[in-house]
Structure 1
Amino acid sequence: MSAVAGTIAPAGIPGFRLVSADDAKKTAGRPGDAAWAGDGVFGLVEVSNASEKRSIDELAASITSEDATVCGGEFLTGLTGTEKGMKRVYSVCRRKGASPINLFYVIVPRLGGGYLQLSIRSEGADVPARRAEAKLLPVLFPSEDQPAPRASAPGADSVLDTTGLKPLDFSKFGRPVDDGELFDDLIPETKKPDPAAVGPPRTPPTTPSIESRLAAIKDLLDRKVITQQEHDERRRAILGSL
Structure 2
Amino acid sequence: MTKLSVNINKIATLRNSRGGDVPNVVQVAKDAQKFGAEGITVHPRPDERHIRYRDVLDLRPVVKTEFNIEGNPVEKFIDLVLKVKPEQVTLVPDAEDAITSNAGWDTLKHRDFLQEVIAEFKRNNIRTSIFVDPDPKMVEAATNTGTDRIELYTEEYARQYSKGNKAGIRPYVECAEVANKLGLGINAGHDLSLENIEYFKKNIPGLLEVSIGHALIAEALYQGLEYVINQYLSLLRD
Relative to the length of structure 1, the TM-score reads 0.28
Larger Rg belongs to: 1
Greater relative CO (CA pairs within 8 A, separation 6+): 1
Per the normalisation by structure 2, the TM-score is: 0.29
The structure that is helix-richer by fraction is: 2
